[in-house]
Amino acid sequence: MSAPRTILDGPALWSAQAHMPSVVGRQLVIERGQGCYIQTIDGRRLFDGTAGLWHANIGHAHPALAEAARAQMVKLETYHTFARFVNDRAIALAERLAGLSPIADPKVILNTGGSDAIDVACKLARRHWQREGRSTKTTILSREYAYHGLHAFGTSIAGLDFNREGYGTESLVPETARVPVHDLDALAGTIARIGPENIAAIVTEPIQGTGGVNPPAPGYLEGVQQLCRQHDILFILDEVITGFGRTGNMFAAERFDLEPDLITFAKGVTSGYAPLGGILISPNIWHPFYVDDAATPVFRHGATYAGHATACAVAMANLDILEREDLLSRVAQLEQLLDRLLKQLQARRPSVVDVRVCGFLGGVTLAEDIAAERAADALIELGFISRPLRGNTLQLSPPFITTDDELTQFVDAIDHVLSTEEAK
């Protein structure tokens, strides 16, 4: 049966991660934002309970970031960072990030976002072992329910099967494997089965985001790190969501006392005001590419907009705000409030199967008879944005500038929706 003309004649824009027949005609067209709120072209004002896609940490339309972008653009919009060329803003941002890094004495590769960062980190892990002469170490491990963007490597290491399916092969990059989400014994078994001599790295989010807001089981990340050290496997921490304050620390590595070999970052570095991401690289990896020797190799990374001067200027202004307004301390306060509110919600609502909070990240898992998609739609009608995630889970990750009253109202709205659903 052919699709209705109203769908086929819809907008030219092909939306991301969308079943298009389900969204055409229902799309919320956002035209402006202010603080914790966004507004649609038809005048609806909505509390941004997800901070966009986990990124609007300082809220929307902050004038300081707009001014930073304007000031940079009238001076130099950007210049590439290939070979001998580099721009001053990319240098300044890299130095500042190195100073904030939980990795001691890192180098910084800048690019345009989280998917880019994962691609570069996985390539660098493989390039590292090839340079070391250990040519069989090519496999990248990742966890069940993981999300690491949708470039070729991110698609290949996804722990959400629907993001890997439909491309004619189990994995776009063949040397990948998944391990159970919290099971160290299973990880050790996978390492033994594949052979540590064949494994380049394991990639993990410290707190899984799209997979359902899954904090690590106690001791799990520390155990992963120990297995990596024991078997000479690189430990890559994907902090695209958690980096720059979302856990109450600048990086989740600090919260969990981890020392990864590579950290990927994006989203929170600019609070989404400009597309920017990158990786922090430990000396054991970067040093051989820097020694002055005839055999020193080139790591072939780079993109036109990597180290984009305006994006870097915006990132610097964003970091200023995080520090000046002491927003990391505010995140710690909001975490405590969110934890209390969600536990109260679970106690009141039989339709709430589980709640999870770690940092200013919350997940509310619903009973099977109440679809998270339907609950999220009902929340929009009440003026609040949540997002349905894997496991029939609602996402809560508002901006860091959220007030106690706004957070309480958000959870109250979820309570109202669930009460209505339970009464049906």
Section 46-70 average pLDDT: 98
Last residue of a domain, one of 291, 324, 357: 324
pTM of the model: 0.96
pLDDT at position 114 over 70: yes
Section 386-406 average pLDDT: 98
CATH number of the CATH domain containing 95: 3.40.640.10
Indicate the pLDDT class of residue 9, thresholds 50, 70 and 90. confident
Pair (188, 79) in one structural domain? yes
- Confidence (pLDDT) at 379: 98
Last residue of a domain, one of 324, 354, 387: 324
Whether residue 117 contacts residue 264, with contact meaning beta carbons closer than 8 Å, is answered with yes
Domain that holds residue 414: 5-58+326-423
- Bridge partners, residue 211, by sequence: none
Pair (261, 353) in one structural domain? no
pLDDT at position 53 over 90: yes
- Bridge partners, residue 394, by sequence: 364, 388
Pair (314, 337) in one structural domain? no
Pair (210, 270) in one structural domain? yes
- CA-based nearest residue to 241, from 211, 261, 221: 211
Quote the number of domains for the chain: 2
pLDDT digits over 189-238, tens only?
999 999 999 999 999 999 999 999 999 999 999 999 999 999 999 999 99
CATH number of the CATH domain containing 43: 3.90.1150.10
Q: How many residues does the chain have?
A: 424
Q: How far is CA 227 from CA 130, 215, 407, in A?
A: 21, 19, 39
Rg for the chain, CA atoms, rounded: 22
Q: How far is CA 193 from CA 81, 189, 228, 390, in A?
A: 42, 6, 15, 29
| Greater pLDDT, 21 or 201 | 201
Pair (290, 338) in one structural domain? no
Pair (148, 208) in one structural domain? yes
Pair (89, 178) in one structural domain? yes
- CA-based nearest residue to 396, from 404, 386, 384: 386
| Reduced DSSP (H G I as helix, E B as strand, rest coil) percent helix, strand, coil of the chain, to 5 | 40, 15, 45
- Confidence (pLDDT) at 424: 86
Pair (239, 347) in one structural domain? no
Pair (223, 362) in one structural domain? no
Helix H, strand E, coil C: the string for 369-410 is: CCCHHHHHHHHHHHCEECCEECCCEEEECCCCCCCHHHHHHH
pLDDT digits over 156-195, tens only?
999 999 999 999 999 999 999 999 999 999 999 999 999 9
Pair (203, 306) in one structural domain? yes
Pair (123, 264) in one structural domain? yes
Rounded to whole angstroms, the Cα distance separating 258 from 241 reads 17
Q: How far is CA 78 from CA 6, 84, 121, 389, in A?
A: 41, 15, 24, 37
Last residue of a domain, one of 309, 324, 339: 324
Rounded to an integer, what is the distance from CA 243 to the centroid of its chain? 8
Pair (333, 316) in one structural domain? no
